[in-house]
Amino acid sequence: APAKAKKIPSKGNNMELSSDGEVDEGSWEMEEEEDGSSDEMVDDYGAASSEEEELLPIEKAALKQKSDRGGLSEDDSEEEEEEAEEASRQKMGQKEEESTDLQLNLDIDEQFKLPTNEQIEREDILFSRDIHKLFPPDLHVIHQRIKGNMEVLQDFAVKREEGHTRQEYLAVLRRDMAAYYSYSDFLLMKLMDIFPLPELINFLEANEVPRPVTIRTNTLKTRRRDLAQALINRGVNLDPLGKWSKTGLVIYDSSVPIGATPEYLAGHYMLQGASSLLPVMALAPQENERILDMCCAPGGKTSYIAQLMKNTGMILANDSNAERLRSVVGNLHRLGVTNAVVSNCDGRQFPKVLGGFDRVLLDAPCSGTGVISKDPAVKTNKDEKDILRCAHLQKELILSAIDSVNAASETGGYIVYCTCSIMVEENEWVVDYALKKRNVRLVATGLDFGKEGFTRFKDRRFHPSLKSTRRFYPHTHNMDGFFIAKFKKFSNAIPQAQKDEEPAVEAATPSTDPGTITEPQPKKKKLEGSKADKEQKPPQPALKKRHSLQAQRRPLKA
């Protein structure tokens, strides 16, 4: 009920404000009620503090009933209390029964059951007609189905349903993962061949989260300690990248754009992924060497090589795309690299241009299945043809890279092959092909971490030395998916292809330029010509006799 109060200036007070701007307490008085309840206080909102006015209508009715039943005996009141207790007990018993029923239902629901064919057909129809764009599927239900399916597959002999094979469970799992993570069926089949099922889920989850931002200190201009202090003063939260890197820093958050600081513009650091540092570390360039970076754009690895060489020797930075070379030139100028030469050539034909390098770095173009967190379009726009097309190009490039190296180099003779893909067709398959076609062998990469490469995959068997290659995954190393292999060339001669082997990819024929070290091939043509001459020797005497007869006939005619 609204309070019956009004402002009445107290005697002797003129409603003066106090020093803190509040009205003195004595300037307010309550108007006395008719029943003389002048002791009631009014709260901040003007509501009376009396108990009767605070009661709700139902509470007032209960009080009235109590007053009407005030003449009842104490025994009756005790009986009513007992009845109330019994009723409460019954209610509690019903609640317990309901909770047990719910628990039983949960236990029953936890047992995973495969969806029926009708449900699968209905969902396929929805997806085929693009109705899922208007009515998207319940991702929570799909996620629970994936978890239940995984539990059954991990203990298939015990938890499986009778009459269902493992292939049926895998087909449902692949279909659910394609819907939940938005992958194509082809790519999921490839990933299921590479990873065990629990690790596959971790890989798919890691691709939904971006990798941490990392930078590489340019030691040509500054030290990592000084750079870190300068960035901290600008409000950047950072840490060293790891024990394996002496130049890397990981950025957690920043109050300034990390790609537009004065330190960045001055060339003190380069924005570069952690996995991009590993190939250069495996290459281990030495001072005063001749090094080829066959696919150099955008210049991060090239500048890191120059940094390790301390701007000595010579680096040939090549890329087949002229537009991408603009960023290479800009980064090399900004970072203060002075020992690099930029070229625009097709890497497959590079031995015709120049050879005799001490080391070659080949970061081959690939399908990009290791950097899905950066480019989610890879989930759906890659198929079998794309993978095989990339593998064919990589085989051509790796043969060209091997032919560009001088096996007689005093300090080098090494080739590092790397991709940002996790497909076996683009990695181990290509490396095994190079081992068969050229006089090279695999050596240790010098990296202390990373998983070993595959020596067998499905029905294929690779060379045992592929254990020395290294694979990096986003869910285990928190960096982009990467593959690295390091070769040592022990002979400049090119082995002859055997009939039993599969046809070789046509490699670039080396030139007769004195700069090239690879053995020229015209010798084979000479051998072939000599054989042909031997085969043509028998008919030569007949030709001589014919000419002699013609010579004898001429004077007779005259």
- Annotated catalytic residues are 420
Inter-residue contact 294 to 347 (CB < 8 Å): yes
Selection from 22, 26, 21 nearest residue 9 by Cα: 26
In one letter, which amino acid is 94? Answer: Q
Phi-psi region of 431 (alpha: psi -120 to 50; beta: other; left: phi over 0): alpha
What's the rounded Cα separation, in Å, for the pair 452 and 428? 11
Chain CA centroid to CA 556, Å: 92
Q: E strand or H helix at 314, and its extent?
A: strand 314-318
Q: Annotated binding residues for S-adenosyl-L-methionine, as ranges?
A: 295-301, 319, 346, 363
DSSP state of 457: E
Inter-residue contact 417 to 369 (CB < 8 Å): no
Inter-residue contact 452 to 470 (CB < 8 Å): yes
Widest pairwise Cα distance in the chain: 171
What's the rounded Cα separation, in Å, for the pair 251 and 215? 8
What's the rounded Cα separation, in Å, for the pair 414 and 217? 26
Inter-residue contact 382 to 186 (CB < 8 Å): yes
Query: Which residue reads 């059954």 in tokens?
Result: 152
Q: Provide the 10 A C-beta neighbour count for residue 401.
A: 28
Q: Provide the 10 A C-beta neighbour count for residue 171.
A: 14
Q: At CB < 8 A and 24+ separation, what contacts does 530-533 make?
A: none
How far, CA to CA in Å, does 535 sit from each of 528, 529, 532, 538? 11, 10, 5, 7
Inter-residue contact 423 to 378 (CB < 8 Å): no
Q: Provide the 10 A C-beta neighbour count for residue 150.
A: 16
Say how many Å lie between the first and final Cα of the chain, rounded.
153
Selection from 212, 206, 314 nearest residue 271 by Cα: 212
Read off the tokens for 36. Answer: 């003389």
